[in-house]
Amino acid sequence: MTSTPEPLSRNTLLASFSSEALRSLAPSLELVRLERGETLHEMYGTVLHAHFPLDALISAFVDTTSGASAEVALIGGEGALGVMATLSGVRGNFRAVVDTGGTAYRVKLQPLRRALADDAQAHGTFMRYLTRRTVQIAVNAVCNAHHSVQQRFCRALLTRLDRCPAGGMLHLTQTLIAEVLGARRTGVTKIAGELRREGAIDYARGKLVVVNRELLQRYACTCGDQIAAQSALVATDV
């Protein structure tokens, strides 16, 4: 646990609780540091805590029985990991890995269930978040089936860039990008080389640097825009 207090409002779902519900939940909340690459739970594994990222990003992977996997959702300060387990069980529907290190609040499932039962407005916000998550997973499924590795590579970078405050620097290795995309490492290396030669990205001190965002946008598919547009509809569709 870290020692620096962080405002709960940095996470949209925590901010949706009434002040009364937050007062009862606060003693159960722990501020934790999530390290890049840390596995928070395995697919079908027991979920002990819900995590509410402040500046961390968490990747949700689905693994096939043959050992292949791909990212199906990315969870940041707009959401939480463990919401499905809180509302409907204790097992994870995917493998959860920290994509970008940072801070998060975590809470055991039972106190969170009590807080949601006592706060209808927050419960509604959590349900709308789950709907937006479903939109994200559905669009990603179609994207994985129909769009090229280069299009998805560029979108993965743009998605992280939008949520990363570090001025275009991303902690992304080509191995991790290949895992996110469910693609072969050799194909990712080839695409990264092409994007570097064209001046879209570069590498510095082990980090990937986005040099030309417009170029990446030109090569990326528009699934990120589609997720944002559909999510905005969910937010207003009450």
Q: Which residue lies nearer to Zn ion by CB, 116 or 223?
A: 223
Q: How far is the CB of 65 from Zn ion (least distance, A)?
A: 25
Q: Which is nearer to Zn ion, 14 or 191 (CB)?
A: 191
Rounded to a whole number of angstroms, the distance between the first and last alpha carbons of the chain is 37
Q: Does 144 bind Zn ion (CB under 5 A)?
A: no
Smallest gap from Cβ 116 to Zn ion, in A, equals: 33
Structure tokens at 57: 């990003």
Structure tokens at 12: 């949209």
Pick the binder of Zn ion from 40, 97, 98, 143 (CB under 5 A): 143
Within 15-74, the residues that bind Zn ion by CB under 5 A are none
| Helical ranges in the chain per DSSP H | 12-15, 19-25, 83-88, 109-117, 120-146, 149-163, 174-181, 185-197, 213-219, 223-236
Rule CB under 5 A: say whether 221 interacts with Zn ion: yes
Considering only 75-83, 125-133, 210-218, 223-231, which stretch makes contact with Zn ion by CB under 5 A?
A: 223-231
Q: How far is the CB of 220 from Zn ion (least distance, A)?
A: 8
User: Smallest distance, Å, CB 155 to Zn ion?
Assistant: 6
Please name every residue paired with 32 in a beta bridge, in sequence order, or none if there are none: 104
Cα 118 from Cα 44, distance rounded (Å): 28
| Distance in Å, CB of 138 to Zn ion, minimum | 12
Q: Given the complex with Zn ion, which of 11 and 150 has the nearer CB atom?
A: 150
Residues 6+ apart with CB under 8 A from 2: 31, 32, 33, 103
Nearest distance from C-beta of residue 217 to Zn ion, angstroms:
13
Strand pairing report for 49-53 and 102-108 = antiparallel
The count of residues interacting with Zn ion (CB under 5 A) is 4
Does 223 interact with Zn ion (rule: CB under 5 A)?
yes
Q: Which is nearer to Zn ion, 96 or 223 (CB)?
A: 223
Q: Measure Cα distances from 129 to 100, 134, 235 in Å.
A: 21, 9, 8
List C-alpha distances in Å: 91 to 24, 82, 130, 191: 25, 9, 16, 36
Residue 147 in contact with Zn ion, rule: CB under 5 A: yes
Q: Which residues pair with 46 in a beta bridge?
A: 91
CB under 5 A: which stretch of 61-69, 117-125, 140-148, 165-173 binds Zn ion? 140-148
Q: Where along the sequence are the contacts to Zn ion (CB under 5 A)?
A: 143, 147, 221, 223
